[in-house]
Amino acid sequence: MKIGFIGLGIMGKPMAKNLLKAGHELVVYDIVAAPVEELVKAGAKAGTSPKDVAGQCEVLITMLPNSPEVKEVVLGKNGVIEGAKPGLIVVDMSSIAPLASQEMAAELAKKKVEMLDAPVSGGEPKAIDATLAVMVGGKAEVFEKVKPILLKMGASAVLCGGIGSGNVTKLANQIIVALNIAAMSEALVLAAKAGVDPGKVFDAIKGGLAGSAVLNAKAPMVCKGNFKPGFRMELHIKDLQNALDTAHAIGVPVPLTGTVMEIMQALKVDGKQKDDHCGVIQFYEKLAGQVVRSDL
């Protein structure tokens, strides 16, 4: 199947590479030339615009930073909607506001183009090894058509409901991840300040009820002081803002989400917004005057 892929950043590039490895014919586009050139060397064809990509493909995937970028690519000048033929399936795998997904789907439907919102969780490591969790919103029959493609990039793909449901699910995921990181940060700073090796604390608790995928992925990073981004804090700020906006719009209080958002905003003011989101621990380290490190 001929697939279009727009957005070749930290997540999009390895996802696109996995589709090539799976034998799909790929047409790619990004405003940055280097990743396009890298994908072309790996066997993809370069598109000249979102419109151009849309005109060549049966399925088109977007993986972009936020709602405005996706709307510009899909509905803007030389956008997907201008090149789309009836029957095209647009799969937006970005993490954006649910309402934006619904708005774009309605416009695409006027051209007999189907859309799914299908954000992912797992960060760069799982994008590289094709074990992402994919959360999907849209029509069941459209989901079934593209599910085999999604499973070339992820270990799971679950239809959560109608259009927008994938992004609602992703917002829930991002709340849980952020709160896990904050809780881990509090706990490890406490341990270190009390004179207990945080690496030993991690080893002791990871198999119990406090254990989680977040703890397993992030505790080793913070113990090494490694804040190289697999998922940048500024992107998590974007997701939490979407979560807060959505929650407020439907009357759901999310006080803990608000607290973690302000912690991340404080770190952004300190210039740490491009750190991995596990860099939240730096906020607690600064408050306690205690750096968390371990040989693990």
Same domain for 251 and 130, yes or no, is no
In this structure, how many other beta carbons lie within 10 angstroms of the beta carbon of residue 147? 16
pLDDT above 90 for 287: yes
Domain boundary among 128, 162, 196: 162
pLDDT above 90 for 296: no
Domain boundary among 142, 162, 182: 162
CATH number for position 273: 1.10.1040.10
Average pLDDT (123-152) is 97
* CB 140 within 8 Å of CB 50: no
pLDDT above 90 for 230: no
Known catalytic residue: 152?
Answer: no
Average pLDDT (109-123) is 96
Same domain for 102 and 18, yes or no, is yes
Does 194 map to a domain?
Answer: yes
Higher pLDDT, 122 or 256: 256
Give me the catalytic one of 51, 71, 170, 272: 170
The domain in which residue 16 lies consists of 2-162
Average pLDDT over all residues of the chain: 97
Average pLDDT (9-15) is 96
Does 294 map to a domain?
Answer: no
Domain boundary among 162, 190, 219: 162
Does 295 map to a domain?
Answer: no
pTM here is 0.93
